[in-house]
C-alpha cells in the first residue's frame, strides 16, 4: 500500500449541505484502486469541535478533527462547502440567502494560508469571497445566489454559467450541489491524470465530460418567474421549439402586444424572447449531439434552426464552439 500524501480538509459547520460534504469523498475514495501505486487522498472533516455537526438534511456528521488540530498540518486542498437559508412560503416569493458565518469565514481564511489549493462547492463560494480569497478572480456558484455574490463582492468576477472555474493561484469554485462531483473529478484529473479520472468516473457511473466550460443551466430552470403568464409562455416555447416562433406569434399566444411581451421577458427572465428561444434551441441541440447520431441537418430541423448555418452561428455565439466540436468533446 502506497503512502497517501494529499490531505484534503473539508470544512464543517452547522447546517452545511450534506451532498457538498459527502459527494467529494466518494470520488476521492476511488482513486487508490485506479492508480498503480495505490495512492490517493486522505480526507479529513474539520470543525470547531469534535461534536456532531447537523447538516441541512438533518443528518449528523462526526468530524475527524478540529480546525486547531488540522491547522498544524500541510493541507493539499481546502474544500469549502455551502449552505443556504430560505425565506418565504409556498404562495410567496422565495428568497435564498447563503450562510456566511463570521467564525467559519475566519477559519477558512486562516486554513487557506496553509493549503496548496482552495476550492468551494456550490454556495461555499460566498465564504471564500467573504474571506477575500476571490478578490480579482473569476468565480462561479449556484445560479440562485450568483447575483447576490456579485452584489456583495464587487471585486469578484462572477460567472454563473460554468460547472466549475479554476483560477490562477489554485483557487477553484464549483456550481450547484451535484456539480461537486464534476469538480472533484477535475481535481483528480489534475493530480493523477485524465485516465485515472475517467476510470473513477466509470466506477461512479458518471460521464467525465464537463470540463468547466459546459453550462450548469437547463434553460427551463434558468430563471424562476413569478407569473403564470410567463410560465405558460416558457412551456409553449419548449413544446413548440421546432416550429417558427416569433415575437408576434408569442404575443398573440399570450394575448399581449409585441412591446408588452418583450417587456415581460426582460422583467421576468432578464432577457429577450429571441435570446431565450435561441438558448433553449442550443440546449436541445447540445443534448441531441451528445445522445444521438442525428445529422446536423436533422438536429437543425428538430430544434427550429432551419439550416445548419443558423445552428452553427448560434453555437458559436453561445458556446464559442461548433456543433461538430461540441459533439466530439461531450459525446
The answer to whether 7-203 and 219-330 have equal CATH topology is no
The CA R_g of the chain, rounded to the nearest whole Å, is 22
Q: What is the pLDDT along the chain (331 residues), one digit of tens a residue?
A: 445 579 999 999 999 999 999 999 999 999 999 988 888 999 999 999 999 999 999 999 999 999 999 989 999 999 999 999 887 655 556 678 999 999 999 999 999 999 999 999 999 999 999 999 999 999 999 988 998 999 999 999 998 878 889 988 899 999 877 788 889 998 998 999 888 888 888 888 765 544 444 555 455 444 444 456 777 888 889 889 999 999 999 999 989 999 999 998 888 877 899 999 999 999 889 888 988 889 999 999 999 999 999 999 999 888 878 999 888 876 6
How many residues belong to the chain?
331
Distance CA 66, CA 25 (A): 18
CA distance 285 to 302: 8
**Alpha carbons 29 and 133: distance in angstroms, whole number:** 27
Q: Please report the pLDDT score of residue 64 as a whole number.
A: 97
Q: Which pLDDT does position 221 carry in this prediction?
A: 42
CB atoms within 10 A of CB 264: 20
Residue positions annotated with a catalytic role: 122
Q: Assign residue 135 a region: left if phi > 0, alpha if psi is -120 to 50, beta otherwise?
A: beta
| Residue range 7-203 in CATH 3.40.50.880 | yes
State the DSSP H helix or E strand holding residue 29, giving kind and residue range, or none if neither.
Answer: helix 18-29
**Inter-residue contact 44 to 9 (CB < 8 Å):** yes
Give the contacts of 205 (CB within 8 A, at least 6 positions apart).
none
Q: How many helices (H) and strands (E) does the chain have?
A: 15, 13
Parallel, antiparallel, or unpaired: how do β-strands 157-158 and 53-54 relate? unpaired
Element (H, E) at 61: strand 60-61
| Number of other CB atoms surrounding residue 5 within 10 Å | 11
Handedness of CA 277, 283, 287, 288 (dihedral sign): positive
Whether 53 contacts 61, CB under 8 Å = yes
Check residue 209 and give its pLDDT: 46
The CATH class of 219-330 is mainly alpha
Would residue 149 be called left, alpha or beta, if left means φ above 0 and alpha means ψ between -120 and 50 degrees?
alpha
Q: Say how many CA atoms lie within 13 Å of 131 toward its Cβ.
A: 24
CA distances from residue 137 to 129, 144, 159, 170, 248 in whole angstroms, order as listed: 10, 20, 10, 11, 42
Other Cβ atoms closer than 10 A to 282? 22
Is residue 256 within 8 A of residue 249, CB to CB? The reply is no
- Each domain of the chain, given as residue ranges in start order, spans 7-203, 219-330
What pLDDT score was predicted for residue 290?
Answer: 80
What is this structure's pTM? 0.67
* CB-CB contact of 274 with 304 (8 Å): no
Amino acid at each position: 500500500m502506497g503512502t497517501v500524501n494529499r490531505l484534503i480538509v473539508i470544512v464543517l459547520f452547522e447546517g452545511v449541505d450534506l451532498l457538498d460534504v459527502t459527494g467529494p469523498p466518494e470520488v476521492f475514495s476511488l482513486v487508490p484502486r485506479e492508480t498503480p501505486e495505490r495512492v490517493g487522498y486522505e480526507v479529513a472533516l474539520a470543525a470547531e469541535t469534535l461534536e456532531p455537526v447537523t447538516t441541512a438534511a438533518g443528518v449528523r456528521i462526526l468530524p475527524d478533527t478540529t480546525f486547531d488540530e488540522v491547522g498544524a498540518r500541510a493541507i493539499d486542498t481546502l474544500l469549502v462547502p455551502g449552505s443556504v437559508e430560505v425565506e418565504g412560503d409556498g404562495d410567496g416569493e422565495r428568497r435564498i440567502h447563503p450562510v456566511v458565518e463570521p467564525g467559519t469565514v475566519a477559519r477558512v481564511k486562516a486554513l487557506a494560508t496553509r493549503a496548496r489549493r482552495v476550492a468551494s462547492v456550490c454556495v461555499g463560494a460566498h465564504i471564500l469571497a467573504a474571506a477575500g480569497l476571490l478578490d480579482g478572480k473569476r468565480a462561479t456558484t449556484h445560479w440562485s445566489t450568483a447575483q447576490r455574490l456579485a452584489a456583495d463582492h464587487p471585486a469578484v468576477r462572477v460567472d454563473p454559467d460554468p460547472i466549475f472555474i479554476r483560477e490562477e493561484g489554485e483557487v477553484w469554485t464549483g456550481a450547484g450541489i451535484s456539480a461537486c462531483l464534476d469538480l472533484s473529478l477535475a481535481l483528480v484529473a489534475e493530480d493523477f491524470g485524465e485516465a485515472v479520472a475517467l476510470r473513477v468516473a466509470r466506477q461512479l457511473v458518471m460521464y467525465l465530460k464537463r470540463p468547466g466550460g459546459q453550462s450548469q443551466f437547463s434553460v427551463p430552470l434558468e430563471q424562476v418567474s413569478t407569473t403564470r403568464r410567463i410560465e405558460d409562455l416558457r412551456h409553449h416555447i419548449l413544446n413548440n421549439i421546432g416550429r417558427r416562433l416569433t415575437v408576434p406569434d408569442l404575443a398573440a399566444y399570450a394575448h399581449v402586444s409585441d412591446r408588452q411581451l418583450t417587456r415581460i421577458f426582460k422583467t421576468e427572465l432578464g432577457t429577450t424572447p429571441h435570446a431565450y428561444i435561441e438558448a433553449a434551441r442550443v440546449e436541445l441541440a447540445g443534448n441531441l449531439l451528445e445522445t444521438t447520431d442525428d445529422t446536423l441537418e436533422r438536429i437543425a430541423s428538430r430544434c427550429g434552426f432551419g439550416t445548419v448555418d443558423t445552428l452553427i452561428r448560434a453555437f458559436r455565439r453561445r458556446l464559442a464552439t461548433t456543433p461538430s466540436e461540441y459533439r466530439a468533446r461531450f459525446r
